[in-house]
Amino acid sequence: MLVISDLHGNNEAVRRVVARQEPLIILGDFLNYVDYRTGQGMVADVLGLDFARRVAAYRARQDFAGWRELWGEASSDFEGDVRSAFTEAAERQYDEMRTALLGASGFATFGNVDVPDLLRGALPKNMSFVHGEVVELAGYRIGFVGGAQAAPLAGSVSVSEADVEDILAGFGRVDILCSHIPPAVDPLRTDVVTGRRERASQALLSYVKTQQPAYHLFGDVHQPQASRWQVGETRCQNVGYFRATGRAFELPDRV
């Protein structure tokens, strides 16, 4: 079984993973909103590469007030409906992703930059959209929690801590807990490049401590201080920044 997260438009690497013909789990962030290393992505497609690089610079400084002011200026100068333009850009990226995933079989949830309704409709027939559900795959009982809490640069959908608690309360014990964001363990949530403590969930950590699944798999933090952490019997694992690495995390089928 292969697990990937934070695809952000790396469809060439997706095709290579699909060609392995193994069960596939995707933990969100399909869309490439803006690659903070290069400026490439939806922002550049709609508002230009120079603007996208300015956005990236504001975020790197964590200047969210300046970021919002920059966006306000760009939106007022844009000829047409900027929201509609971004929706169309997202639809194009999801269409490209669907083509890359043809032949894949498994499950996918959404990340903080995804549009769940568009993602659900774009997945090929053997890839099922899951959130707040428990499924059986490769001999494992797997629970999925998608999305993330609201943040200064929030994505399209916010999943609150109360939402996560409610979802987890209905799971019982699973073999694998899958989420987009990490549990609230500082080395797992700290990005060593930006120096930021990214979103994390105390509810996920509490579930891991009490239910002790074999694995807790997640993504979201691109350059974590620690990619693996042990909480009791549970291996907490960041499966990697797939856009940059093109590598899947591999789990053996359960016998």
**Residue 229: inside a domain, yes or no?**
yes
The answer to whether position 38 is within a domain reads no
**DSSP-assigned letters across all residues of 58-79:** HHHTT-HHHHHHHHHHHHHHSS
pLDDT value of residue 62: 74
Q: Give the sign of the dihedral formed by CA 42, CA 47, CA 50, CA 55.
A: negative
39 occurs within a structural domain = no
pLDDT of 194 reads 79
* Predicted local distance difference test score (pLDDT) of residue 35: 86
Residue 7 counted as domain residue:
yes
Cβ pair 180, 29 in contact under 8 A: yes
Strand partners, 128: 107
CA-CA distances (angstroms) from residue 172 to 23, 62, 130? 23, 39, 17
Number of domains making up the chain: 1
Q: How far apart are CA 110 and CA 120, in angstroms?
A: 9
Task: Dump pLDDT digits (tens) for 49-98.
Answer: 998 898 888 877 778 788 788 878 877 777 778 888 889 999 999 999 99
Beta strand ranges found along 73-199 (DSSP E) = 106-108, 127-129, 133-137, 140-145, 176-179
**Residue 84 is assigned to a structural domain of this protein:** no
Instruction: Provide the 3-class DSSP secondary structure of residue 86.
Output: helix
Whether 74 is covered by a domain: the verdict is no
Q: Which residues of the chain have pLDDT under 70?
A: 150-156, 255
pLDDT at site 154: 45
Interatomic CA distance for residues 98 and 246, integer angstroms: 17
- Do 15 and 7 contact (CB within 8 A), yes or no? no
CATH number of the domain to which 196 belongs: 3.60.21.10
Residues 6+ apart with CB under 8 A from 239: 3, 4, 5, 27, 217, 218, 219, 248, 249
Task: Name the token pair of 170.
Answer: 């209905």
CB 218 within 8 A of CB 226: no
Note down the domain range covering 171: 2-31+103-250
Residue 47 falls inside a structural domain: no
Confirm whether 68 is domain-assigned: no
Instruction: Count Cβ atoms below 10 Å from residue 186 Cβ, excluding itself.
Output: 12
The predicted-structure confidence for 185-204, as pLDDT tens digits, reads as follows 999 999 998 788 999 999 99
Q: pTM higher than 0.85, yes or no?
A: yes
Give the strands of the sheet with 249-250, arranged side by side.
127-129, 106-108, 24-26, 2-4, 249-250
d(CA 31, CA 162): 26
Taken in order 124, 30, 128, 138, the sign of the CA dihedral is: positive
